[in-house]
A and B are shown apart, each in its own frame.
Chain A
């Protein structure tokens, strides 16, 4: 069975500081991994995804994530936080192919303070 664990339900950083949101997964087959962002009362927006190939993936808004199979991790980073990055972030895993369901982590709320 697949599962996703996001360490830290709340993360707070200063504007300009490094953002690190942690995600570990469990999957019996090579996973497809995703990070989504959700702003209040809105749907989810895809930040980035890993399917195959290069393990360091770059997404929108300056975010990137690295797939580390040995650590079963897919942590999300951004070198310099902006106030507009404050939102809820979800890591998700699927078996592969968009027709398979996504399993979401519990989410991490990112706060950015001046």
Chain B
């Protein structure tokens, strides 16, 4: 099946700094990718839809200037958490639909962000 990777798998940063998380589709092209946030023992909340070559679409309540999304190529989307604060600590997961079975999404392994 299709593979989606994320890097890094975990990161610790100081409050006020920025962190970039990468999401890659390894064996297929993805014009769309999705970014989710998951708090401990909770469900996944969709943050934004990343669109290759155009601006991301953010869900209501998600700060565009804080969570910068760039989808520069058909295999890479990045999420940058700017001026991170402890409340941004969370598990961030990306997903991508494949072209062959467009109703299936493949999920990355997630990135654990801890802001100290």
Contact = CB atoms under 8 A, between A and B. Distances in A.
Interface of A: 32, 36, 41-46, 49, 51, 90, 94, 96-99, 101-107, 109
Contacts of B105: 46, 98, 102
B110 A42 contact: yes
Nearest to B110: A43
A46 B104 CA distance: 8
Nearest to A36: B107
A32 B97 CA distance: 14
Chain B, interface size: which category?
20 to 34
B42 A107 contact: yes
Contacts of A96: 103
Most buried by A among B43, B49, B91, B104: B43
B107 A43 contact: yes
CB-based closest 6 A-B pairs: A98-B97, A98-B102, A43-B107, A44-B107, A43-B109, A98-B103
Interface of B: 4, 6, 32, 34, 41-46, 49, 91, 93, 95, 97-98, 101-110, 112
Given A90-B44, A98-B97, 4 more contacts: A32-B103, A44-B93, A46-B106, A101-B46
A94 B104 CA distance: 10
Given A43-B107, A104-B43, A98 B49 contact: no
Contacts, number: 59
Given A90-B43, A99-B32, A105-B43, A41 B103 contact: no
A102 B110 contact: no
Given A98-B98, A99-B97, A43 B103 contact: no
A98 B101 contact: yes
A98 B31 CA distance: 11
A106 B43 contact: yes
Nearest to B45: A104
B44 A97 contact: no
25 contacts: A41-B110, A41-B112, A42-B109, A43-B4, A43-B107, A43-B110, A44-B93, A44-B95, A44-B107, A49-B104, A51-B103, A90-B43, A94-B103, A96-B103, A97-B97, A97-B102, A98-B97, A98-B98, A99-B32, A101-B34, A101-B49, A104-B44, A105-B43, A106-B42, A107-B42
